[in-house]
Amino acid sequence: MVAWLLVLHIFGFTLWISGLLITTLILLRHIAVSAPAARASLAGIEKLGLRTLADPGASLAILAGILLIVTNRSYFLHARWLHIKFIFVLLLIVLHVIVGTRSKAFASGRVALDRGYVRLLSILIVLVFISILIATLPGAVLLSR
Q: Which residue range is the domain that position 8 belongs to?
A: 2-142
The Cα–Cα gap between 58 and 48 comes to 15
pTM, rounded to two decimals: 0.92
- Residue 140's pLDDT is 63
- What type of residue is 66? I
Cα 14–18–23 angle (5° rounding)?
155
Residue 34 DSSP class: -
Residue 72 DSSP class: T
The Cα–Cα gap between 5 and 13 comes to 12
The Cα–Cα gap between 138 and 81 comes to 9
Q: pLDDT digit string (tens) for 39-52?
A: 999 999 999 999 99
Going by C-alpha positions, the residue among 21, 31, 46, 45 that lies closest to residue 115 is 31
Query: Which residues touch 131 (CB under 8 Å, ≥6 apart)?
Result: 88
Q: Quickly count: other Cβ atoms within 10 Å of residue 90's Cβ.
A: 11
- For the chain, how many structural domains are there in total? 1
Q: Quickly count: other Cβ atoms within 10 Å of residue 63's Cβ.
A: 14
Rounded to whole angstroms, the maximal C-alpha distance in the chain is: 58
- Residue 121's pLDDT is 97
- Residue 75's pLDDT is 85
Q: pLDDT digit string (tens) for 51-77?
A: 999 999 999 999 999 999 999 988 888
Residue 111 DSSP class: -
